[in-house]
Chains A and B, each alone.
Chain A
Amino acid sequence: MTTYNDFVIRFANVNGSGSASANGMFAKALFRMGLPVATRNIFPSNIQGLPTWFEVRVSEKGYLGRREGGVDIMVAMNAETFVEDVASVKPGGFLVFDNTKPLATHLKRDDITEIGIPLTDLLLPVFTDIKQRGLFKNITYLGALAALLNIEFDVITGMVATQYKGKDALIAPNIQALEIGRNYAQQYLPCPLPCQVKRADAIGDKIMIDGNMACGLGAIYGGATVCAWYPITPSTSVAEAFEQHANKLRVDPECGRRRFAIVQAEDELSAIGIVIGAGWNGARSFTATSGPGVSLMTEFLGLAYFAEIPAVLIDVQRSGPSTGMPTRTQQGDLISSAYASHGDTKHVLLFPSTPKECFDFTADAFDLADRLQTPIILMTDLELGMNDNLSEPLEWDDSRTYDRGKVLDADDLEKVERFGRYLDVDGDGIGFRTYPGTHPEKGAFFTRGTSRDEYAAYTESPEVYEQNMERLLVKWQTAATLVPKAEIHSTDQRAGILFYGTSALPMQEALDLLADEGIYLDTLRVRGFPFGEEVYEFIDKHDFVFVVDQNRDGQMKTLLITEGELDPAKLISVLYFGGLSISADTIQSQVSEYFTAQKLPRLTEVKS
């Protein structure tokens, strides 16, 4: 039986061998044929020589989470991992390999189909340079896959032309390598396979972009003028994306100079210090880091909370603790970010689930930081940040203006009898600030981490200190009304499921799997912290709520219990923390097991 547009293909390569470009073209070709695709790069913390895998899931239904239970097609190009790669093919699946040397008998499986292509032999007479031969091997299997899976060849050759635009000498040999693969497959292999693709119209005007790129663009559109950062996987490409685009989009057309400053700092402490110094002086500024960087930034984050300075931090989370698995994903920094620092501190968090939200929330974060005069932390992760994800196109409302918050200029100060930096004039917990150098006589104040009164004067008065800390809680309540509202889908079920960030990717598939078992759940996707009223209402309304966390300790559940003073028994954790992204199968099996263990009724049973 032939199946269309529904499979998982995995490429096993050695990192540093040039496979990323060919594999990327494979995914892009399917995208350009109108198919929803999800890509996942599983790579080591290493530059050359270690195993790396690239996985593409094609799903016309739009299921884009990681799928468990083996792959349909394995392109096994790494001798070192060959044994486990063969083992990971689903029964009935296909193994694509270089059969210049025949497959060892002990590796043969009779439940899968071998697709041998003598890549080395095919390329030996054509490319004399050994390095070139290695690189074109990737392109050659791409050509073979085009024939095997029925990928439109024009789409691929078109991509080669775009990719090597300006390096025309590379186009012809790449096309040649593609054709060698395709011709061999057409002549000797059962093309097309029963597992194949056909053009569809399932993606509309969507784009394929990684979350870090979207964050970098969001920072440009959000008006960031200062970026300070320190290299750390998986966040590095946020700063790089910002710089790459700002070099084009933020140049003064008359003088050619840059309307932004970017500094690679000596460490994360310095990066956040620069951001806070710039924020204090009225520039929109941001940094990007990952868990270990957040740990290093915590002293400064506490100062910014207490001294009430706008700052934006993009935390691309990875597996911890400590260095953990630096090239694997996790949602492990919720607690360390929400309460980063000593003393009483709480930070506003935003949870994007798609590249579009990475863009929107990054831009919004600058408005929120200025409005709330406090750090805003965007909680993304490696899964979203470093993989090309299908996304709604980015959009900007040209009538939008930046909300610079409560800032008094010189004219405003003239009208104020006595300026008090920390006076809560409006009752929302937010005082008025001034930028340095605004007025010759009025509005200057001394910013400090030590206690001060409403006029910014030093004091150690217990009453004044408490009053200030209480005001910061009023501001926290204001923040709860300003962060993006949770996204809720309800059909008045007894149980709900609450999730955030990249757990959204496999959620629809998990819900469909559960529905097949008679389990129906209302859903809530958290998008901001502090939680809005709608989050507590949702939990209140349901008998129990599953809370999906990609960490061991159920950090979102902890935040909910702590901040909402909720009964822990009502919240049931669904957990995954293995460093890959959470799958629909994981969600489905944990929810289903809970229903079984608790002898909860399923809708099918009730109906029958």
Chain B
Amino acid sequence: MTFVTKPRVHHPKLPVNEIGLTRRDYEGPVSTLCAGCGHDSVSAAIVQACAELSLPPHKFAKISGIGCSSKTPSYFLSKSHGFNSVHGRMPSVATGANLANRELHCIGVSGDGDTASIGLGQFAHIVRRRINMLYVVDNNGTYGLTKGQFSATNDKGSTSKKGLPNLYEPIDVASLALQIGASFVARSFSGDKRQLVPLIKAGLMHKGFAFIDVISPCVAFNNHNGSTKSYDYVRDHSETVTVSDFFLPQEEITVDYDPGTSEEVHMPDGSTLRLHKLDEGFDVHDRVGSLNYVQSRQAEGEVVTGLLYVDPDASDCHEILDTVQRPLNELEEAELCPGNDTLQAINESFR
């Protein structure tokens, strides 16, 4: 395997964002994933979203577990620190990173093996803890790095590349996130940048735990007839419930979206999330309704995509723990150490 550095020469006409940076400033080195891998599209969408939000590219903490998906944080935002940690344990590392410095944007990238199998417990509990982060699952239904075993998100009856059927029920991570209480839940498709980029932007700006399940086909092991996570299958069986369009207060970022009724969600940072409902009856503030809808469409073999649920007034873990506003990693002796006089008083209580 090689480590390829991209040339740092910019096209002189590349557009710059509000802080004078081009999209290239948000990229990373060349990906070593297979050509056509859906995960690279997700990385590209993250690059575009961060550039369009004009966020400083070094103010992120990128955390991942193990697997193809978890390699991707090295392929975007190379000016930020990244941590490719332990299989299934990204949520705990992200929790620690976020507790240490609440000012960094925390992006966790995980896979379906990482999140739905080995890390299902950690996934469930980071949802409960409401860590302020964007949690993206690159969901391809297969173990790519170990060459094509079924993962727990793979549909029952779906076949492997060798033609063998999956015998077990799938875990739907988006439904799980809804059920446990995530304050932002979305699903998208890696090939649908028009839907995915606004969702990532909204998730990054959401205060609290934002979860996006991205169906991301594996071109090497799970993109054949019989797979329910192939490009063709997902295109044929997905139903978009909401198209979200994200605005920062200063300037509208226009996206070509389908017409429909609209609703503005005011985000805690002052920005606005505009939702376009394709289905008149779909309410993104109704957790139970959303869960029912996702499950009932799933029973029909349909993948519901779009923003499924958002609570714009959600709290995050730092609010729950009532921590100071300043990052904990910046506090110094004077703020941390109570000093010897206090210690002598404590001694007295043990006499």
Chain A residues with CB under 8 Å of chain B are 31-32, 205, 207-209, 213, 217, 220-221, 223, 225-226, 228, 245, 249-250, 252, 255, 257-263, 265-267, 269-283, 285, 299-300, 303, 307, 393-398, 401-402, 434-441, 444-450, 457-460
14 examples of A-B residue contacts, CB within 8 angstroms: A213-B350, A260-B328, A261-B317, A266-B122, A269-B92, A276-B85, A276-B93, A276-B96, A277-B99, A278-B96, A281-B101, A283-B329, A447-B81, A447-B84
Q: How far is the CB of A603 from chain B (nearest CB, A)?
A: 41
Roughly how many angstroms separate A450 CA and B82 CA in the complex, as a whole number? 13
- Please indicate the chain A residues that have their CB under 8 angstroms from the CB of B3 in the complex: 457-459
Q: What are the 6 closest A-B residue pairs judged by CB atoms, nearest first?
A: A277-B96, A273-B92, A283-B100, A278-B96, A436-B81, A282-B329
| Complex: chain A residue closest to B338, CB-CB | A249
Residue pair B80, A436 in contact (C-beta under 8 Å): yes
Residue pair A396, B84 in contact (C-beta under 8 Å): no
Say yes or no for B94: interface residue by CB 8 A criterion: yes
Roughly how many angstroms separate A405 CA and B80 CA in the complex, as a whole number? 21
Roughly how many angstroms separate A457 CA and B58 CA in the complex, as a whole number? 18
- Please indicate the chain A residues that have their CB under 8 angstroms from the CB of B93 in the complex: 273-274, 276-277, 280
Stretch of B162-170, B186-194, B228-236, B341-349 at the chain-chain interface? B341-349
- Please indicate the chain B residues that have their CB under 8 angstroms from the CB of A278 in the complex: 96-97, 99-100, 328-329
Stretch of B153-161, B267-275, B300-308, B318-326 at the chain-chain interface? B318-326
Q: A225-B100, A263-B95, A444-B80 are in contact. List 8 more A-B contacts (CB 8 A).
A: A225-B331, A255-B324, A261-B321, A266-B124, A274-B95, A434-B81, A436-B80, A447-B82
Residue pair A275, B96 in contact (C-beta under 8 Å): yes
- Kindly name the residue among B124, B339, B343 whose own CB sees the greatest number of chain A CB atoms within 10 A: B343
Roughly how many angstroms separate A446 CA and B76 CA in the complex, as a whole number? 11
Residue pair B336, A393 in contact (C-beta under 8 Å): no
Residue pair B74, A446 in contact (C-beta under 8 Å): yes
Q: A270-B89, A270-B125 in contact; A261/B336 too (CB < 8 A)?
A: no
Residue pair B100, A207 in contact (C-beta under 8 Å): no
Q: How many residue pairs at the A-B interface have CB separations less than 8 Å?
A: 234
Q: How far is the CB of B62 from chain A (nearest CB, A)?
A: 8
Q: A258-B324, A269-B89, A277-B95 in contact; A282/B101 too (CB < 8 A)?
A: yes
| Complex: chain A residue closest to B70, CB-CB | A448
Residue pair B343, A226 in contact (C-beta under 8 Å): no
Residue pair B99, A226 in contact (C-beta under 8 Å): yes
Q: How far is the CB of B76 from chain A (nearest CB, A)?
A: 11
- Please indicate the chain B residues that have their CB under 8 angstroms from the CB of A440 in the complex: 56-58, 79
| Complex: chain B residue closest to A397, CB-CB | B340
Say yes or no for B121: interface residue by CB 8 A criterion: yes
Roughly how many angstroms separate A443 CA and B258 CA in the complex, as a whole number? 43
Roughly how many angstroms separate A207 CA and B313 CA in the complex, as a whole number? 49
Residue pair B129, A263 in contact (C-beta under 8 Å): yes
Q: How far is the CB of A343 from chain B (nearest CB, A)?
A: 13
Roughly how many angstroms separate A249 CA and B80 CA in the complex, as a whole number? 34
Roughly how many angstroms separate A258 CA and B27 CA in the complex, as a whole number? 37
- Please indicate the chain A residues that have their CB under 8 angstroms from the CB of B346 in the complex: 217, 245, 394
Say yes or no for B59: interface residue by CB 8 A criterion: yes
Residue pair B100, A226 in contact (C-beta under 8 Å): yes
Interface size class on chain B is: 35 or more
| Complex: chain A residue closest to B59, CB-CB | A437
| Complex: chain A residue closest to B19, CB-CB | A440
Roughly how many angstroms separate A398 CA and B282 CA in the complex, as a whole number? 61
Roughly how many angstroms separate A522 CA and B56 CA in the complex, as a whole number? 62
Q: A277-B63, A460-B1 in contact; A225/B97 too (CB < 8 A)?
A: no
Roughly how many angstroms separate A265 CA and B126 CA in the complex, as a whole number? 9
Residue pair A439, B58 in contact (C-beta under 8 Å): yes
Residue pair A279, B96 in contact (C-beta under 8 Å): yes
Residue pair B100, A282 in contact (C-beta under 8 Å): yes
- Please indicate the chain A residues that have their CB under 8 angstroms from the CB of B149 in the complex: none
| Complex: chain A residue closest to B341, CB-CB | A398
Q: How far is the CB of A271 from chain B (nearest CB, A)?
A: 8
Residue pair B340, A303 in contact (C-beta under 8 Å): no
- Please indicate the chain B residues that have their CB under 8 angstroms from the CB of A438 in the complex: 58
Q: How far is the CB of B330 from chain A (nearest CB, A)?
A: 8
Residue pair A207, B92 in contact (C-beta under 8 Å): no
| Complex: chain A residue closest to B89, CB-CB | A273
Roughly how many angstroms separate A459 CA and B60 CA in the complex, as a whole number? 24
| Complex: chain B residue closest to A254, CB-CB | B324
Roughly how many angstroms separate A545 CA and B132 CA in the complex, as a whole number? 56
| Complex: chain A residue closest to B319, CB-CB | A257
Please tell me which one of the listed residues A31, A205, A303 contacts residue B86 in the complex, with CB atoms under 8 A apart: A303
Q: How far is the CB of B292 from chain A (nearest CB, A)?
A: 28
Say yes or no for B91: interface residue by CB 8 A criterion: yes
Say yes or no for B104: interface residue by CB 8 A criterion: yes
Residue pair B350, A223 in contact (C-beta under 8 Å): no
Roughly how many angstroms separate A258 CA and B351 CA in the complex, as a whole number? 28
| Complex: chain A residue closest to B330, CB-CB | A282
Please tell me which one of the listed residues A283, A307, A445, A449 contacts residue B99 in the complex, with CB atoms under 8 A apart: A283
Please tell me which one of the listed residues A208, A270, A398, A458 contacts residue B92 in the complex, with CB atoms under 8 A apart: A270
Residue pair B73, A281 in contact (C-beta under 8 Å): no
Residue pair B84, A450 in contact (C-beta under 8 Å): yes
- Please indicate the chain A residues that have their CB under 8 angstroms from the CB of B286 in the complex: none
Say yes or no for B103: interface residue by CB 8 A criterion: yes
Q: How far is the CB of A281 from chain B (nearest CB, A)?
A: 4
Residue pair B58, A277 in contact (C-beta under 8 Å): no
Q: How far is the CB of A363 from chain B (nearest CB, A)?
A: 9
Residue pair A437, B340 in contact (C-beta under 8 Å): no
Q: How far is the CB of B328 from chain A (nearest CB, A)?
A: 4
Residue pair A444, B84 in contact (C-beta under 8 Å): no
- Please indicate the chain B residues that have their CB under 8 angstroms from the CB of A225 in the complex: 100, 328-329, 331, 336
Please tell me which one of the listed residues A249, A257, A439, A459 contacts residue B325 in the complex, with CB atoms under 8 A apart: A257
